Amino acid sequence: MDFFSPGSVWPARALMVLRIVTALLFLAHGTQKLLGFPAFPSGNGPAPMSLPWFAGIIELVGGLLLLVGVFVRPAAFLMSGTMAVAYFWAHAPRSFFPVNNGGDAAVLYCFLFLYFVVAGGGSWNGSKAAARP
């Protein structure tokens, strides 16, 4: 089992694991905003039709698409843009440095999703299964 040889299956499998773990973490943000699970520390979710509510829909639907591996590139593109907007609107005004403004997760998600736009979803994804006759 050679992990580093050209044509190895392991890079695609590692990308798939990264996609699934990222999707599960991102999905948790959407379920918290829209379904109240896990519960908000304040006990209140975003108001319907507000910007955080729409972000919750993108987090929930995009996270599910990423988890299953269907429409990975378009979903990741939309989620990357959402995280860029979240960073510059919600976090950057607090401080220039992500570690000080709480925006480090938004920056990390933004660039992870941008990577998925370029690299795809890896092996074992729903798009490949749907394309088969």
Instruction: State the pLDDT confidence band at 43, using cuts at 50, 70 and 90.
Output: confident
Per-residue pLDDT of 1-26, as tens digits, reads 677 778 788 888 999 999 999 999 99
Give the pLDDT of residue 127.
65
Give the pLDDT of residue 81.
97
pLDDT at 62 over 60: yes
pTM higher than 0.85, yes or no?
A: yes
7-16: long-range contacts, CB 8 A cutoff, minimum separation 24 = 9/123, 12/122, 12/123, 13/122, 13/123, 13/124, 14/122, 15/119, 15/120, 15/121, 15/122, 15/123, 16/69, 16/121, 16/122, 16/123, 16/124, 16/125
pLDDT at 130 over 60: no
